[in-house]
């Protein structure tokens, strides 16, 4: 009997603000037609996988992605604020070029030294790590031996996978790139965990674009 707990960790599909290179954070924008397709490709790829629980960030872009991936499964989607993207405060709604011009030091910290990152009204990476990983660990403890789908955001995916990898915060943005609707899979057996997939896009039916 397989008592392993399986986590399927997914970033939401491409959004309108992804295409415009805008920081979203706690703000939101709809999935693009491509974002919907990306979620549909993943639904098809894992259609025959056992999924017992579905958790989603409470942001609409993640919730919509979770609904598509759920497909015909009769499973409630449990929303959690703990799975939301990092709150980016005064950056939200601005393009990366605008932010780089106005907040160069913080922009460089965001990508090169996440431990130091902080702007007005934002969260720190450590705060996001604490809330997301605590939620994930509690979910695993409450659902041992089950298969759990979690739909969330880039920073949260990166931080959860860094937790399983033992990756230092400074190396957070090292590859793999977290494409929209990419798949990470982790198997947990007691105190042991094994990464099966990390940023996988083998279900894509078109070439990916960064977004």
Distance CA 203, CA 38 (A): 8
Q: What are phi and psi of 124, to 5 degrees?
A: -95, 160
Any catalytic annotation for residue 171?
A: no
Q: Tokens 């106005």 label which residue? A: 102
Of 12, 26, 153, 179, which residue is the catalytic one?
A: 12
Residues 122-138 as b or e (16 or more Cβ within 10 Å = b): bbebeebbebbbebbee
Q: Among candidates 2, 5, 3, 8, which has minimal Cα distance to 150?
A: 8
Of 43, 85, 92, 123, which residue is the catalytic one?
A: 85
Residue 40, helix vs strand vs coil? helix
Any catalytic annotation for residue 44?
A: no
Q: Among candidates 186, 88, 89, which has minimal Cα distance to 133?
A: 186
Indicate which residues carry an active-site annotation: 12, 85
């Amino acid at each position: 009997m397989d008592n392993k707990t399986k986590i399927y960790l997914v970033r939401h599909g491409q959004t309108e603000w992804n295409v415009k290179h805008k920081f979203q954070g706690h703000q939101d924008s709809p999935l693009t037609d491509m974002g919907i397709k990306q979620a549909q490709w993943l639904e098809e790829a894992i259609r025959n996988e056992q999924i017992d629980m579905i958790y989603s960030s409470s942001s609409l872009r993640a919730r919509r992605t979770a609904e598509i991936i759920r497909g015909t499964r009769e499973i409630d989607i449990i929303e959690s604020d703990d799975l939301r993207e990092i709150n980016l405060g005064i950056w939200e709604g601005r393009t990366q070029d605008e932010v780089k011009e106005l907040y160069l030091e913080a922009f460089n910290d965001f990508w090169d030294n996440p431990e130091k990152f902080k702007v007005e009204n934002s969260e720190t990476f450590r705060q996001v790590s604490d809330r997301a990983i605590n939620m994930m660990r509690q979910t695993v403890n409450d659902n041992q031996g089950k298969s759990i789908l979690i739909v969330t955001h880039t920073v949260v995916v990166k931080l959860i996978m860094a937790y399983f990898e033992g990756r230092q915060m400074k190396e957070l943005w090292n590859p793999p790139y977290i494409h929209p609707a990419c798949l990470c899979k982790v198997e947990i057996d007691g105190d042991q965990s094994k990464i099966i997939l990390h940023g996988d896009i083998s279900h894509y039916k078109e070439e990916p674009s960064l977004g």
